[in-house]
Amino acid sequence: MTLSSSKALVPFVSVDHMMQLIHRIGVEPMLRGLADYIEADFRRWESFDKTPRVASHSPVGVIELMPISDGEAYGFKYVNGHPKNTREGLQTVTAFGLLADVATGYPVLLTEMTLLTAMRTAATSAMVAKWLAPRQAQCMAMIGNGAQAEFQVLAMKAVCGVQRVRFYDIDPDATEKCARNLVGQGVEVIRCRSREEAIEGAQIITTCTADKQYATILTDNMVGAGVHINAIGGDCPGKTELAPAILHRADIFVEYAPQTRIEGEIQQLASDHPVTEFWEVVCGRAPGRRSEQQITLFDSVGFAIEDFSALRYVRDRLPGTGLFLQLDLLADPDDPRDLFGMLQRAAPAPSAA
């Protein structure tokens, strides 16, 4: 499982190395690969030791730990969400993650996960849309054009075949940023002046806004029959994007219900409102899209299994690339019982009088 030549060294993937790895694989091939890994782990959902993420909330944001294990490997991600950071020239979300060997407890991979989270979030959205969106959906609306937007679009293109994207953001500069970044990427970019204009003709509607508030990005009368809604902006208590009436009209699919009922759109509903955990669809235990008129909603808050899948994917792609550093992270004395002796032997030599 380890990438290092010594059990005391842990491979670390920096931001620069992650960017090089993504370009070496290719953005769209990596998005497809991540989607495949995530789907494979959803198929073995019941083999995981699962828990809602551990969150520490403050008035300006949240810091979270997301642990998971399948009995052989253990992973966790540290991630924050601070919407006010953008106004200060900082990222709203930053993250790093670790993968460890359960048999020894030794870490086998440490990596940045700011970029990797954007990739895995987009891959998850597209993997779910492959199952729930209308057949041969080619047009999507992207409402909220921040740091996640281009990843979401390219994942929908790579996995679902989306060709046209209707963009809207309250900040026109954010839309222009997306249009500029997607030049030459094989998608038609349509700039829209309102949310209503953005969803015209879209079969997939993605909402990805950042403000920590009970917002109404989509009202009930904006959502017609037959669409798939990919709601990824609401991801903590007190932060939503959809009018409650939409939730009552839609068939709702979630990652892990105990977490989503606290953090997702369904925090607006009664605790017994029926939802389907998406792994049940993948495993054939529950239906996905059943009709052309059905409204499907993926109430996505992000779950640790998706990060576990992403960590596995990176671990499997690293050997032979050289795109990591070996960190001297673990104390490894010759005699496991003699940690103090190792410390003593590292003492500097006495200086000459």
For the stretch 180-192, pLDDT in tens is 999 999 999 999 9
Please tell me whether residue 105 adopts helix, strand or coil conformation: coil
Which token pair is 185?
Answer: 């990427």
Strands 325-328 and 228-231 turn out to be: unpaired
Which token pair is 274?
Answer: 């029926």
pLDDT at 213: 66
Amino acid at site 183: V
Give the tens place of pLDDT for each residue, 24-59.
Answer: 999 999 999 999 999 999 999 999 999 999 999 899
The ranges assigned to domains in the chain are: 9-115+306-345, 129-302
Give the pLDDT mean for 148-158.
98
Q: Alpha-carbon Rg of the chain, whole angstroms?
A: 22
DSSP conformation class of 350: P
Contact 37, 313 (CB under 8 A): yes
DSSP codes, 203-263 = SEEEE----SSEEEEE-GGG--TT-EEEE-S--BTTBEEE-HHHHHHSEEEES-HHHHHHH
Give the pLDDT mean for 64-72.
97
Give the pLDDT mean for 111-139.
97
Closest to 259 measured CA to CA, from 247, 242, 240, 277: 277
- pLDDT exceeds 60 at position 285: yes
Contact 276, 251 (CB under 8 A): yes
Ramachandran region of residue 71, left (φ > 0), alpha (ψ -120 to 50) or beta?
left
316 noted as active-site residue: no
Closest to 249 measured CA to CA, from 214, 232, 225, 231: 225
Q: How confident is the model at residue 228 (pLDDT cuts 50, 70, 90)?
A: very high
Give the pLDDT mean for 323-344.
94
Q: How confident is the model at residue 215 (pLDDT cuts 50, 70, 90)?
A: confident
- pLDDT exceeds 60 at position 92: yes
Cα(208)–Cα(142) distance, rounded to whole angstroms?
Answer: 8
pLDDT at 7: 64
- pLDDT exceeds 80 at position 6: no
pLDDT at 225: 95
pLDDT at 350: 87
**Assigned fold of 129-302:** Rossmann fold (3.40.50)
pLDDT at 1: 41
Q: What is the pTM of this model?
A: 0.93
Cα(237)–Cα(214) distance, rounded to whole angstroms?
Answer: 9
Q: How confident is the model at residue 4 (pLDDT cuts 50, 70, 90)?
A: very low
Q: Which of 41, 169, 235, 307 is catalytic?
A: 235
Distances (CA, A) of 253 to 12, 207, 282: 35, 15, 12
pLDDT at 86: 85
Distance of CA 300 to the CA centre of its chain: 9
pLDDT at 303: 96
Which token pair is 154?
Answer: 């390219």
Q: How confident is the model at residue 234 (pLDDT cuts 50, 70, 90)?
A: confident
Give the tens place of pLDDT for each residue, 298-322.
Answer: 999 999 999 999 999 999 999 999 9
- pLDDT exceeds 60 at position 146: yes
**CATH superfamily to which 9-115+306-345 belongs:** ornithine cyclodeaminase, domain 1 (3.30.1780.10)
Give the pLDDT mean for 174-181.
98
Q: How confident is the model at residue 5 (pLDDT cuts 50, 70, 90)?
A: very low
- pLDDT exceeds 70 at position 212: no
Mean pLDDT, the chain, whole residue set? 94
Bigger pLDDT: 51 or 213?
51
